[in-house]
Amino acid sequence: MTNLEWFRTFKAIYETGSLTGAADKLYISQPGVSLHLSSLENYVGYKLFDRSSRRMVPTERAKVLYNFVLEPMLKLEKAEELFSRTTEKEKPTISIGMCFETFQFTLEPYLPKLPFNVIIKFGEYPEMLSDLDNGVLDMIITPQKGDYKNLQFKAFSKERIMLVAGNQTDATIFKQHIAAANYSAAEDWLQTQTWYGTAGDMEHLRRFWHQNFGKRPGFKPNFIVPNLSSIIRCLNGNSGLAVIPDFLSKREIEKGQIFPLWQGHNIIENTLYFAARKKTMYAEEIKQIEEIFEKEMSTTELLEA
């Protein structure tokens, strides 16, 4: 099935004479422009441009296609402009990628008061970085940086991966082992406890275990729940252990329902970044999202109990 964005990109390349010019005009990345063009060429079944070092030279078939689609595209752009004047400029829509728990902890309570529309996408960070570069997303919150020349990354906070426990957990013996630096005994004690994990991602637990004990954990969690927020709710006021980013349980820790048990003798910290394209029409909206995250995550670092 064809995509109207392919024709919009084709028109921009034809009129600007370059992939870079089309990318600037459409506020998307050059790889995104190349992807649209190759998709359209595959769809129509023939080459549309001869690529030289300086310009994209349209083929004869491209000239025919351009003349055929020009008037319909101009009408669509006019309709888009008229619609934008009445609603879109007053309330634009931006697409943001992040993990579910980050959204729930920070941005979710603010959505009803935002002066613009928001589409949230949850997914794997490499996929979201690619979507950002290709213009599918306008911004992402990520602990990972990629080699994308059209994207800019701004560090704004850190998350610490740590061991937490429900407040009914008796960790006296474990703390004695840690105080004596008897990590082998501490590991043995941990493996006898009740553990919570998530169905989709056990990376935090595996990384924490390898960093502090030099191996993979030799057990599976007793309870597998949908996400990290579910873990926090299960631990809240009960017994059990989990390895999670510190900021997610901050409120429960302040209320005494969960306590930070151990940060590890090899502390794991991730830097969190705002990522956006260098050229974007949503700079003002992105700035408002950044201010929300900076406010919610500019908290003092949690300390071991």
- Angle 147-148-151 (CA atoms, 0-180°, nearest 5)? 130
pLDDT confidence of residue 91:
77
- For 32-54, the pLDDT digits (tens) are 888 899 999 998 999 999 987 77
User: What CATH number should be reported for the domain whose range is 4-88?
Assistant: 1.10.10.10
How far is residue 291's CA from residue 297's CA, in Å, rounded to a whole number? Answer: 10
Model's pTM, two decimal places?
A: 0.61
Q: Under CATH, which architecture does the 159-269 domain have?
A: 3-Layer(aba) Sandwich (3.40)
- For 63-109, the pLDDT digits (tens) are 999 999 989 888 887 877 766 655 445 678 899 999 888 898 889 99
Q: Where are the domains of the chain?
A: 4-88, 93-157+271-297, 159-269
pLDDT confidence of residue 260:
94
Residue 155 has pLDDT above 70, yes or no: yes
Q: Which of 70-84, 96-110, 227-241, 265-279 has the weakest average pLDDT?
A: 70-84
Domains 4-88 and 93-157+271-297 share a fold: no
pLDDT confidence of residue 204:
87
93-157+271-297 topology per CATH = D-Maltodextrin-Binding Protein; domain 2 (3.40.190)
Residue 295 has pLDDT above 60, yes or no: yes
